[in-house]
Amino acid sequence: MTPHDIGFFFAVVSVSALIGALLGIMCRGQTRISVIFGIVASILLFLILEWRFGSPEEWSWQEPFTSSAYLVGPFGFLICAPMLLAALFVGRWWIQRKVI
């Protein structure tokens, strides 16, 4: 893994966490709504990244289940988990914060 790859992964995780934090603020700590919007936003972000940076050889029409299995890990660890964790953490922080 090259430093360029590590930088790209760090950028993806950072953008995911930032979007999750914004979702946590917008949903004002409502866990159910934060999770639903977080999953939808993470799927949309993943589709945009695959459309922009994915290669045509990445998806095999002969083995669609294997191809999707290889895409679940990066989706879960790089996009979905940071976004949902940030949304839930910021949402909880938003509830506990005293606004004057």
CA 100 – CA 96 distance, rounded (Å): 13
The token pair at 69 is: 């299995």
Going from N- to C-terminal start, the domains of the chain cover 3-96
Question: For the whole model, what pTM was predicted?
Answer: 0.82
Give the ranges where the chain is alpha helix by DSSP (H).
Answer: 3-26, 31-53, 64-74, 81-96
Residues 64-70: what's their mean pLDDT? 80
Least confident of 7-11, 31-35, 68-72: 68-72
Predicted pLDDT of residue 18: 96
Confidence bin at 88 (pLDDT 50/70/90): very high
Residues 64-84: what's their mean pLDDT? 86
- Over 80: is that where the pLDDT of 75 sits? yes
Q: How many CB atoms lie within 10 A of CB 55?
A: 7
